[in-house]
Amino acid sequence: MAAFDDFMKLDIRVGTIVSAKPFEKARKPAYQLEVDFGEELGVKRSSAQITERYTPEELPGRQVLAVVNFPPRQIANFFSEVLVLGTYSEGGVVLITPDKRVKNGDRLG
């Protein structure tokens, strides 16, 4: 069982997707995302398996939550720097988003 202190080790922040493109070299369908986390963290890259529910055209401008303190993970020729969060739902992954517009870099707390 996870302890509360384990949760507190995660740095989860709000960022705005600035670009999304198909990740052709991924084994499972995915997009390569660039997400702006504000002044402190800047723009980070992520591979996201969200192709069943989203098109690349509708993602820019959308705010998302992501874990920003995992080490980078290499997927094919791409380094994913953050883990964008979503729910495994019927019909595909649904992104976790704030219900109101907030500042990029805001922490989940």
| Residue 77 pLDDT greater than 90, yes or no | yes
CA atoms within 13 A on the CB side of 91: 4
Give burial (CB, 10 Å; 0-12/13-18/19+) of 71: exposed
Neighbours of 5 (CB within 10 A): 7
**Average pLDDT of the segment spanning 43-68:** 98
Q: SS3 of 61, please?
A: coil
Please enumerate, as own/partner, the contacts of 85-89 that have beta carbons within 8 Å and a separation of 24 or more.
Answer: 85/12, 86/48, 86/50
pLDDT band (50, 70, 90) for residue 39: very high
| Residue 20 pLDDT greater than 90, yes or no | yes
For residue 24, CA distances in Å to 49, 58, 65, 69, 83 come to 12, 19, 24, 26, 19
Question: At the topology level of CATH, where does 4-95 sit?
Answer: OB fold (Dihydrolipoamide Acetyltransferase, E2P) (2.40.50)
Output the pLDDT for position 53: 97
pLDDT band (50, 70, 90) for residue 109: confident
